[in-house]
Amino acid sequence: MILYYRFRQLSSLGLIALTGFAVFLFGAVDSPTVTIIQVALAALALAWAIRKLRNPYRFVASGFYLPLLVIVGAAGVQTLFSLSASTHATESGLALWLAYLAFFVIAVNVQADPMIRGTWPTAACWLGLGVGLMAMLQALVAGGGVLWRSAPGLQPFGPFAGFEYFAVFAELLFPILLITALDNSRRRALGIAAAEVLAASAAAAVSPTGFLLLTAELVVILIVEVVTLALGRGKNARRIVSSAGALGVAAGALVAGGIIGQLAQAGTDPPVSDDSASTAAWQLFQQKKAIGHGLGAFPVAYRAEFPTTPGTAFSGAEPVRLMAEIGIAGIVAQVLLIGLLPIMARTHRAWLGGVLALAAAWAHSWNYSWLGSPALVLVALGLLALVATDGSRLPLRAIFRRRSGTNMATHSHQNQSPQRAYQLSSVE
C-alpha cells in the first residue's frame, strides 16, 4: 500500500513536470512538443492501467469526466464514419483530447489524496513566478523572439507565442497564487512574490481583455476577503495585515505593469480585433448542427467555405468554434462543465482558486482561441482537478469559509499512514 502511495506521488510529480515542460516550451503549440506530451501521458496511463490490473485500487470518479468524454466521443464518431472535413486533423485532435482526458483522470486520482493535493498550489506558485520572470527577461533581451526562436508575424510574450496566451495563463494562475498567499502562512511570501511578478508581467503584455479579467479576479477576491473577515472568520490583526498586504501588493503590481506596458506600446499601432472567424464559425455550425465539421478541422472548413474572406481561422470565439467542430456535442460539453462547476466546488480554495480562474479563462475564450495552446489546457485541467477533489460539503457557503488547504491536510493526517489518508479523502 505504501508503494502505491509512492506511485501516486511520482505520478503527481510527473504531471506537474509535464505541465511545466509544456508551458516553458513555446506553450506547446508546435508538433514535436505535443507529440512528447501525448507519448508521456500515454505511458503514464498505461502504467496506471497495469497497476490497476496487478494491484486493484480505488478509482476516484468525477462528474467532470463527462464534458471530456462528450468531446472525445463526438470526435470518435466523426473519425469512425469519416464525417470530418479533414480526417487527419480530426484524428490528431482526437489523440490530443484523449491525452487531455488521461491527464485529467490521473490528476483527479492523485489529488484525491490531500497530502498530494497540497503540493499543486505550491507548484503553481513556482510556475507563475518562473514564467513571470521569464516574461520580463524576454521582453528585455529577446527582441521579438520566443526563447531561442524567432517569431515572425506573432506577438510573443514570455515563453508563449502570443501575449493573449500569456494573459490567459495569468488569469488561470493568479487567483490560486493569491489564495495560497492568504491561506497558507508557510507559503505566504512565495505566493505574494509569484502573484506580484505574474500580475505585473501580464499587465505589461497589453492585453485589454486580460487586464480587465485580472482586475475582475482581484476585485472578487478582495470582496470575498472583506466579507470573510467581517463575518468574524479569521478576524485578527495578523490576518487583516497579511490580507491587506497581499492584495495591496498584487493591485500595485497590476497597475504598475499596466503603466509600463502602455509606455512600451506608445507610438505603435494597437492590435486589431478580427471577428471574421467568429462569424464564420457560427455560420459553419448552422450548416452542420448535429455532428459538426470535425474536431480540429475548423481551419480546413473555414478555408473551404470562405476562400476569399480575410482573417485567420485561428482567432475568434472558442466556444462557437467548438460548436462548429463537433456540433451539438460542443454545446453539451460546455453546459455540463459550467453547470458542474458550482456544484462540485466545495471549499474556499476551490471556488476562488479554481472556479474563478476557469470562469475568467472561459470568458477570455470568447475573444481569443486559447485552446490552441496545450500548455494552457493542462493548467486549466489541473485547476479543474482541484475543484473536483478539494473539500467535502456546503459548496456555496464554502466561498466565505476559509480552509488552510495544505496546512489543514497535513495536520489532519499527520498521524495516519499515507494509504489511510488517501482512503479518507476518497470517501469525502
pLDDT digits (tens, 9 = 90+) for 60-85: 999 999 999 999 999 999 999 999 99
H or E segment and range at residue 128: helix 119-141
Average pLDDT over residues 258-268: 48
Q: What does the alpha-carbon distance between residue 257 and residue 241 come to, in Å, rounded to a whole number?
A: 24
Cα-based distances in Å from 101 to 34, 57, 284, 368: 15, 19, 27, 23
* For residue 422, pLDDT beyond 50: no
The DSSP symbol for 395 reads T
Q: Cell 521579438 appears where?
A: 144
| Grid cell in block for residue 371 | 485552446
25: three-class secondary structure by DSSP: coil
pLDDT digits (tens, 9 = 90+) for 17-29: 999 999 998 787 8
| Beta carbons within 10 angstroms of residue 341's beta carbon | 22
| Grid cell in block for residue 375 | 500548455
* For residue 137, pLDDT beyond 70: yes
Strand partners, 155: 162
Top-confidence residue, 170 or 225: 170
Q: Cell 512600451 appears where?
A: 264
φ/ψ region of 60 (left if φ > 0, alpha if ψ in -120 to 50, else beta) reads beta
Strand partners, 157: 160
- Burial class for 423, CB neighbours closer than 10 Å (0-12, 13-18, 19+): middle
79-93, 176-190, 235-249, 261-275: least confidently modelled range: 261-275
Domain ranges, ordered by start, for the chain: 2-214+252-265+314-427
* For residue 198, pLDDT beyond 70: yes
* For residue 407, pLDDT beyond 60: no
- Where b means 16+ CB within 10 Å and e means fewer, 277-313 reads bbebbeebbeebeebbbbbbbbbbbbeeebeeeebeb
- Ranked by mean pLDDT, the top range of 110-114, 190-194, 318-322, 332-336 is 332-336
Which amino acid belongs to residue 109?
N
Q: Cell 480540429 appears where?
A: 296
pLDDT of residue 160: 87
Q: How far is CA 263 from the centre of its chain?
A: 30
Q: What does the alpha-carbon distance between residue 323 and residue 408 come to, in Å, rounded to a whole number?
A: 42
- Ranked by mean pLDDT, the top range of 91-105, 108-122, 149-163 is 91-105
Cα-based distances in Å from 269 to 262, 381, 395: 12, 35, 46
Q: How far is CA 218 from the centre of its chain?
A: 17
Q: How confident is residue 401, by pLDDT bands cut at 50, 70 and 90?
A: low
Strand partners, 388: none
Mean pLDDT across the chain: 81
Look up the pTM and report it: 0.86
pLDDT of residue 331: 96
38-42, 137-141, 216-220, 324-328: least confidently modelled range: 137-141
pLDDT of residue 228: 78
pLDDT of residue 270: 45
- Ranked by mean pLDDT, the top range of 145-159, 193-207, 210-224, 392-406 is 210-224
Q: 195: closest CA among 179, 206, 219, 216? A: 179
C-beta of residue 91 within 8 angstroms of C-beta of residue 78? no
C-beta of residue 315 within 8 angstroms of C-beta of residue 274? yes
